[in-house]
Structure 1
């Protein structure tokens, strides 16, 4: 056994846009035993979306809003209009999502340019209006949670944003411990999450730069949060949740290859052409952080465009 087993808090699988779709959620929740996960964000514009769009982002809605391994899945929304966010939040829970999560952390330029995601951290009053509208519209028994970064350019409004989120009635807050300007550059400022916890009474989940059981322990200690959220670390080490929770040995490369082959073999009717080869190569960029073998295989795999050739390579290596 390795690591320091901990059952003191829950582990959430992060909603990584363009990476953690329903198939990846299936892979990681089965391998890593996560307590909860959140979808990629649904970008809310000035319309109420039809159920088909929610099912596309979250097919698990048709199965009790749980992954095949039984992990609950919550829909995440991103937008700036309080009324349209509220209407779409209501639809999400009507379709079976166990509450809704609101994204105020996405650092993508295209999203921020259209006044979505992390750029709203410049405006605590806007966060308050959005969350208030959603909380008023969604039935009381359904949680409304939010995710934020420490700020946009700097951390000057971190505490104000957290207080606004709490005052608006949110049931929980996940904090990615970096600003938008800091992107994903280490370190993650876990001590800032501790500062936020001192100012709010709602449950806080710590997120950022958790790659190992030791990182999880350090994050919990420094942030004061029992609950943590893992994103890139889960992609780099597929069973990281179990490594942290129960001290399981890190998955060996043979196990990862089998998971990759399974991922490459699941049919996705809505996606054609080079979609899946690109997603597999994307996953390898994370696996290379943890596995020397992934780095070696990627030298050949990155040249392949045909999915069947990639499957053959994964099968041969397995």
Structure 2
């Protein structure tokens, strides 16, 4: 297995990259707080300047880099592999130091069950414990798919090695076609994790708001479960907002009802943007976009909450703008990993 040494300027911290690990994953495995979010080339958070050495770009046209970035010799750590020893420039951060260093593992497919018409929960079991924080994600190496895919865990870290993922079946999606159509119980895949910085902050005393859309359900269910298990909700409230296009897309309440405090300290707020369901399912609840419902329910008290959210990029971008610009919610109270 090939090994290269990477040095970060100006702090002179060093780490090794083994095999075909990306620069980012090698840094995180070494316990270095390399900035990142999506791990997939879309957000641009792991941008660095190459000072010395050569890299292999896995996705030269990744949207996380602008043409100006490329002219200035910048690269995405999640999309390049060191071909030689490197010297790079990047500002590391304590927030990105992994609480659990990510590791590659073989995981056996244990089963699947449907949540909605297009979201199912897939369960895998690995050797040893499943070490991760509520709200984090893992990278899947799926047979027949060229690049890894990121999926969030919906359960909590455990000693039994169980990894649960609530995954949406994307039309014409290469990865989900393999998962939904060809994966057999007992088959093994490689899981690499945990990753993600939008995990539950158990030390924070504020009430909690979770906002999800689509398969953003998984990390928000994990956050709610983590808050309940930790005892945070003995003294705090949790508002869980879920936005769907039509009534048949709405889900999440079943998982919340399993938690102590549902209806008392845990509140479920579903909303649909198209109340007329093609499946004929009636809807008498809230309509509109999920960020609008958040504003209607919580109003001027928004700055007093700790926010976690996950879902389609337009949803997360609009919600972030509303909170930070419209209500001056401090940035440190807002937690989400950008995916594209």
Pick the TM interval, shorter chain. under 0.3
Higher alpha-carbon Rg = 2
Higher relative contact order at CA 8 Å, sep ≥6: structure 1 or structure 2? 1
Of Structure 1 and Structure 2, the greater strand share is in 2
TM-score, L = length of structure 1? 0.26
